[in-house]
A = this chain, B = another copy of it.
Amino acid sequence: MPEKTSHKSDIEIAQESKMLPISHIAGLLGIDEEDWEPYGRYKAKLSLDLFQKLETKQEGTVVLVTSINPTPAGEGKSTVTVGLGQAFNRIGKQTIVALREPSLGPSMGIKGGAAGGGYSQVMPMEEINLHFTGDIHAITTANNALAALIDNHIHQGNALHIDPRKIVWKRALDMNDRALRRIVVGLGGPLQGVPREDGFDITVASEIMAIFCLAVSVKDLKSRLSKMVVAYDYSDSPVTAGDLGAEGALTLLLKDALMPNLVQTLENTPAIIHGGPFANIAHGCNSIIATKLASKLSDIVVTESGFGADLGAEKFLNIKARYGGIKPGAVVVVATVRALKMHGGVPKDELSVLDLPALKRGMPNLAKHLDTLKQFGVPAVVAVNRFVNDDQAEVDYILEWCKSEGVQAAEADVWADGGAGGEELARTVLNVMESEDNNYKPLYELDMPLDEKIKTICQRVYGAEDVQFSPKAIKQIEQFTSLGWGNLPVCMAKTQYSLSDDPKKLGRPEKFIVAIRELRASVGAGFIVALTGDVMTMPGLPKRPAAMDMDVTEEGKAAGLF
């Protein structure tokens, strides 16, 4: 086990690091000066013209990082993604890390950025965690421009006969603000619009964010924006953004944001950070444009998806990869001693105590995720992400277990050691990609009926015995199918803590039935959301928000962010 070289905080490590000018990083990737634009000294936006210029260049391999069902603190998936990218570069493979953009709102609530950790971070982490290059602000603006156009349409005569009780488009802010979850707008008399119930979602839950991440071009973006269903009219027919003539303006508002953002890791590995949709009501992956462009610019792209493999990897493999024409080379499943012990029944505050029997009891959770990836036909590697208090016997147990199961695995110590701590993992991934067959294909065909798609995911990915549809869901499946949306993929909204829809069922639950409460149509994004319970699309702030500690130092530096 490598010695822990540091107990510095993320921001201390970040502020001590030496970034290269972004022109240097762009140069490393062979990008001409005309094909990127600087945003400050250490951020750049990449031109979409690069796709045409690189048309004949072979695409590099996409490696997806996912995890077992996580603890509330997370398994360090972003940290492993960054560290693995750094490791590949160290062993001579030109590699780009492709991550999601962090949402600013939540950082007002709970400390902790979303830019990796320790010696595996992307930089400049303060800016990435604050406004970055403004992409999320552009999405907020587009979301709310559409909302204003809807209410204005009704106020100005309602030629489309929109039923104000059936507006499904919500307003959005990149903020944790529970008071905006349920509101009434349009009060104050005939000059102030038409009163109706409404609500705000956090911006990353906006369908526009999902579209932003699934569009393959500006043209595709506009076409998807046009298809978004914003309301139903008095005859229950859907009204789209296109019906309102809004898609041109929304595309204009998003045009510059659609250019992927180039930054670097602590070890100067190029990183592209672009888009970041929710992993429950959306698919939880960075943009297709960023992933594809990264694959054109490097041998290997290391990217991640949200939550555990039952949600994130499933959606990556069934939705993103399908729409993007991406064939992943391998999937890395991040496991931690702590999370496996939790699945073995250990309470949260005792996870640091050596407990091999509990660890053993937790292994079926990992086993199920590996089984799922086998069904997708994609080679898998287990990464044991090392935490400071892990006992070597525990780490060894997981590695031995993998060996006995015929699954390749490696320890990752990237938090403490950066890329050096991920070299063994990187070599293992390369080895797996060379030695194992890759028969990746989505788990279902698009012409499968919606209820069958949902059953397929619940039974084959979650291990459920059956699925129970509420009367509302049954009606919606009929309605959506008759509207021609039956051939869309399904996006499951489920707890990330369990393979089942009950967050308390840890390990590998069996004989459970998944209850589908309700469906939502994200026709522009191109999926039907199936909700298994309440999904919070606008978080709240805690009793003592992290904002209380934020500040700017006398020297003008960010403080209290992480």
Interface residues of A, Cβ cutoff 8 Å to B = 37-41, 45, 48, 104, 108, 127, 130-131, 134, 137-138, 140-141, 144-145, 147-149, 151-152, 155-157, 171, 173-188, 191-194, 198, 218, 222, 245-246, 248-249, 251-253, 255-256, 540-543, 545, 547-552, 556, 558-561
Q: Please determine whether A551 and B181 come into contact, CB atoms closer than 8 angstroms.
A: no
Q: Which of B108, B134, B179, B192 contacts A137 (CB 8 A)?
A: B134
A137-B134, A192-B179, A251-B551 are known contacts. Are A152 and B558 too (CB-CB below 8 A)?
no
| A321 CA / B63 CA spacing, docked (Å) | 58
CB-CB under 8 A from A130, the residues of chain B are 252-253, 256
Nearest CB of B to A554, in Å: 8
List B contacts of A137 (CB < 8 A): 131, 134, 137, 140-141
Q: Are A182 and B177 in contact (CB under 8 A)?
A: no
Contact sample, A vs B, 5 pairs, CB 8 Å cutoff: A40-B45, A127-B256, A130-B253, A147-B177, A249-B548
In the complex, what distance in Å separates the CA atom of A131 from the CA atom of B257? 10
Which B residues touch A549, using CB under 8 A?
248
- Which chain B residue has the least Cβ–Cβ distance from A34? B41
Contacts of A108 in B (CB 8 A): 145, 148-149, 249
Cα distance A187–B179 when bound, in Å?
7
- A188-B181 contact given A40-B37, A252-B561, CB 8 Å threshold: yes
Which residue of B173, B188, B540 contacts A182 across the interface (Cβ within 8 Å)? B188
Q: How far is the CA of A138 from the CA of B561 in the complex (A)?
A: 16
Q: Cα distance A249–B547 when bound, in Å?
A: 5
A156 surroundings in chain B (CB, below 8 A): 542-543
Count copies of this chain in the complex.
Answer: 2
User: Do B144 and A173 touch across chains, with their CB atoms under 8 A apart?
Assistant: yes
Which residues of chain B are near A134, meaning CB under 8 Å?
A: 131, 134, 137
Q: A141-B175, A148-B179, A252-B559 are in contact. List 12 more A-B contacts (CB 8 A).
A: A38-B39, A131-B134, A131-B138, A137-B137, A148-B175, A149-B545, A155-B540, A182-B188, A184-B187, A248-B551, A252-B551, A252-B561
Residue contact B185 to A149, C-beta cutoff 8 Å: no
Q: How far is the CA of A19 from the CA of B180 in the complex (A)?
A: 44
The answer on a CB contact under 8 Å between B38 and A541 is no
Q: Within 8 Å CB of A556, what residues of B?
A: 48, 218, 255
A559 to B222, CA, bound (A): 14
Min CB distance, A146 to chain B, in Å?
A: 9
A179 to chain B, nearest CB (A): 4
Alpha-carbon gap, A397 to B296, bound state (A): 67
Contact B187 A185 (CB under 8 A): no
Q: How far is the CA of A188 from the CA of B545 in the complex (A)?
A: 22
> Is A176 in contact with B188, judged by CB distance below 8 angstroms?
no
- Give which listed residue, B147, B155, B248, contacts A560 with CB less than 8 A: B248
Contacts of A187 in B (CB 8 A): 181-184
Task: Let me know if A155 and B131 touch, CB within 8 A.
Answer: no
Min CB distance A40 to B, Å, is: 5
Interchain CB contact under 8 A, A148 and B541: yes
A24 to chain B, nearest CB (A): 15
Name A154's closest neighbour in chain B (CB-CB).
Answer: B179
Smallest Cβ-Cβ distance to A194: which chain B residue = B179
With A141-B137, A179-B192 given, is the CB distance from A541 to B252 under 8 Å?
no
Q: How far is the CA of A549 from the CA of B149 in the complex (A)?
A: 13
What's the minimum C-beta distance from A41 to chain B, rounded to whole angstroms?
Answer: 6
| Residues on B with beta carbons closer than 8 Å to the beta carbon of A218 | 552, 556
| A540/B152 in contact, CB under 8 A | yes
- Tell me the minimal C-beta distance from A255 to chain B in angstroms: 5
Complex Cα gap A75–B176 (Å): 43
Task: Kindly provide the distance from the CB of A353 to the nearest chain B CB, expressed in whole angstroms.
Answer: 34
Residues on B with beta carbons closer than 8 Å to the beta carbon of A249: 108, 547-548, 550-551
Report chain B residues within 8 Å CB of A180: 171, 185
A547 touches which one: B41, B149, B552 (CB < 8 A)? Answer: B149
A541 contacts which chain B residues (CB < 8 A)?
Answer: 148-149, 152
Choose from B45, B144, B193, B558 the contact partner of A252 (Cβ within 8 Å).
Answer: B558
Give the docked Cα–Cα distance between A559 and B252 (Å): 8
